[in-house]
Structure 1
Amino acid sequence: MAQNETLPIRQYKKYQWIVWHPDLLGGKPTIKGTRISVALVLECLASGMTADGIAGEYEGFPKDCIAEVLTLASEQANHPVEQNDVAA
């Protein structure tokens, strides 16, 4: 691909709501149509926010994406842990 060509934003794996692009949020999986990362949604949920709370805080947040965000997190948690990721 030539340097001046741009990659399109791509659907991430099989997900409807999760997209990826190397220049979008540093290449992090992102919620389609937003600049909200999957990681941010997970942080909000972990802190006790509801889907309605996230939508109230982040304009344009599609509440329908929550199931996909949790599925992606579950898939990632199913990968084996690398030894160098574990505290000594």
Structure 2
Amino acid sequence: MAALDWSQCPAVESIPGKVSGAWVLKGMRMPVSIIFENLKAGANIDDIMEWFEGLDREQVEAVIEFAARSLDIAPSSPVTR
């Protein structure tokens, strides 16, 4: 799978010394990878929002949509609202 250029996604940031420089949701310490690990395990956005306090739904949706656009694929299911 192609690596994504997360620097082009306005919903995330990478700061040296913050979560070892991993790409995280902007203003948080939540690594982007956690979102995709949970989706891969069968969770949906509502589950992720419930399990991880303080998340911003728009940020989570923006990360998923950015990944889908970057990989030139359509999400397998519509974003749950």
TM-score (norm 2): 0.65
Please name the residue that 1:36 is paired with. Answer: 30
The counterpart of 1:21, out of the listed 15, 18, 23, is: 15
Aligned CA-pair RMSD: 2.2
- The aligned runs of 1:1-88 (5 Å cut-off) are 13-70=7-64, 71-72=66-67, 75=70
Rounded Cα–Cα distance in structure 1 between residues aligned with 2:21 and 2:69: 20
Q: Point out 4+ residue stretches in structure 1 off by more than 4 angstroms.
A: none
CA drift at 1:68: 3.2
Rounded Cα–Cα distance in structure 2 between residues aligned with 1:66 and 1:35: 13
Give the conservation status (yes or no) of the 8 Å contact 2:23–2:32. yes
Rounded Cα–Cα distance in structure 2 between residues aligned with 1:72 and 1:28: 16
Rounded Cα–Cα distance in structure 2 between residues aligned with 1:22 and 1:59: 24
**Structure number with higher relative contact order (C-alpha < 8 Å, ≥ 6 residues apart):** 2
CA drift at 1:73: 6.8
Q: Which runs of 5+ in 2 are unaligned?
A: 1-5, 73-81
Rounded Cα–Cα distance in structure 2 between residues aligned with 1:36 and 1:42: 12
**One-letter code of the match for 1:33?**
G
**One-letter code of the match for 1:66?**
V
